[in-house]
A and B are shown apart, each in its own frame.
Chain A
Amino acid sequence: MNLAQGNTRVYTVTELTRKISGLLEERFPFVWIEGEISNFRSPISGHYYMVLKDENAQIRAVMFRQKARSLKFVPEDGMKVVAQGRIGVYAPRGEYQVILDYLEPMGVGALALAFEQVKRKLAAQGIFDEAVKKPLPFLPQRIAVITSPTGAAIRDFLKILGRRFANMEVVVVPVRVQGEAAPAEMIKALETVNSQITADVIILTRGGGSLEDLWAFNQEALALAIRRSHIPVISAVGHEIDVTISDLAADFRAPTPSAAAEMLVTEKEILSKRLIDMRQRMGNRVTALLKKRAENLERTAGRLRDPRKRLADSWMRLDDLYGKIIRVGESFVREGRRALDGEKRALYSHSPLRLISLMRQEKDFTGQALVRAGGAYLQGRKTALSMLGKQLTDLSPLSILRRGYSITRTLPGRNVIRQASSVGGGDPVEVLLGEGRLECRVEKTSEQAGILVDFERMPDSE
């Protein structure tokens, strides 16, 4: 108890701890420290607890909830970090620790690391699996675009649609695309489109920006909301090189807002072109076919001569033959006449009168012999003559009648009837036969008749 009674200052634990605490906190109000994280814990309070260490030492560290929330990535054991904070003493346990305000991974940027972490986590949950992705709708008609209504993205998107195959309905769902509130607004917009409007496809888009600007699209919650959407989602964030978690979670990624518009119109354009092409080909083919048939028809028609011409030809040929027959008949008659004249002359030159005078001179020539010879001779000539005569008369109309033809004439007019139609039933007619004539009455007329009817008409055709 001597010590207590002397001038020696005796601290209570609390006093000493407060003293130490004061010293440390005054001396190290702002320090940078680098080390490796171990024993990382994040209990329900939301604070981060960890131990930072290197080869020879270790120090406890804590990051309170408010600060931890602003951290883009989640610290992990083994992670090498650079941290900034102050030294604090936790009196109940007599421990000092670094109270962290800021923490960043060494080597890679915090955002890049955070991106990798979210990506790894979601990938493990199968959020990015191709198998869970929905196909793009066929010929989308109604498109919901979740984006900033004043941004470059919607302008670019609408410009492409307007320039191309633009008959689509676009519903712009206005949201903030960066800042603290952005992820929640986009998630809400996804839910609204799914529940309240009937869109064929959702475009989640914003224009280019820094990694920080695009950060809203790297949120785990947004990725999950995209996956929950039963309407297919196309994510088009930033420029070609920017890939966000939203891009990975979406059913399709378009590198830019313009590219998203092109994705929508290209299929339609291809189909439309195919359709126009087929219509063209079909039209061409049918036109060609019709043209070919028309030419064929023309050629065939050219070969098909007018039947009236053929009829006229037949008439002409008939007339020609008729003329020939007449000429043959005439020359035959002429020949007959000439032969007859010859015979006549021969007959006269052998006149019996001359014979008689001769016989008178040859008195011993018996009259009987003379008569016999003359008679036989005459008989022979007579026969020849009658044959010629018969041949001659065969050519006359009378001989035609004799061959069985007949001529019918009206009564009492005696006009030759050439057509059945020129008489009626009950009309009296006369029929001239080879021998004699008949007076008859017409029983019945008929236009149909034998070939002779046509033959009869022949001379009339001239």
Chain B
Amino acid sequence: MAEKKFETAMSELEEIVHALESGDLPLDEALKAFEKGMKLVRFCSGKLEEAEKKVTMLVRQEDGKVDQVPFEIQKEEVE
């Protein structure tokens, strides 16, 4: 599940940040951790950015099927 993967990546990332901040890692290990951390950051950002921004409106066609058309906010009316 996407959530699980994301959460796993987040907690892994947290561990890396913690290890970098608290431990005295040797430089090469620190760089390896950093590299892995950046990969996780990219993965998680990707998940956050995944969706496409668009607004459509569902319209019912004559044959009963539904279709989506771009949605524009219409001028204010009284409900």
Contacts and interface: CB of A to CB of B under 8 A. Distances in A.
Interface in A177-234: 177-178, 192-193, 196-197, 206-207, 209, 213
Interface residues of A, number: 48
Contacts of B21: 281, 285
A271 interface: yes
Among A139, A178, A196, A275, chain B packs the most CB atoms within 10 A around the CB of: A275
Contacts, number: 129
Contact of A149 (B30, B38, B74): B74
A149 B20 contact: no
Among B1, B13, B58, B59, chain A packs the most CB atoms within 10 A around the CB of: B58
A286 B14 CA distance: 15
Contacts of A271: 6, 10, 44, 48
B58 A138 contact: no
B53 A167 contact: yes
B38 A172 contact: no
Interface stretch (A42-50, A150-158, A447-455): A150-158
A264 B50 CA distance: 15
A168 B51 CA distance: 5
A198 B9 CA distance: 26
A282 interface: yes
Interface string A271-290: 11011001101110110011
B41 A278 contact: yes
Contacts of A165: 48
Contact of B14 (A171, A209, A213, A278): A278
Contacts of B49: 167
A385 interface: no
Contact of B58 (A197, A209, A278): A197
Contact of A158 (B13, B48, B55, B76): B55
B41 A279 contact: yes
Contacts of A289: 20, 25, 27, 30
8 contacts: A138-B3, A142-B51, A148-B79, A149-B71, A174-B57, A282-B17, A286-B20, A286-B30
Closest 3 CB pairs of A and B: A141-B51, A138-B3, A172-B57
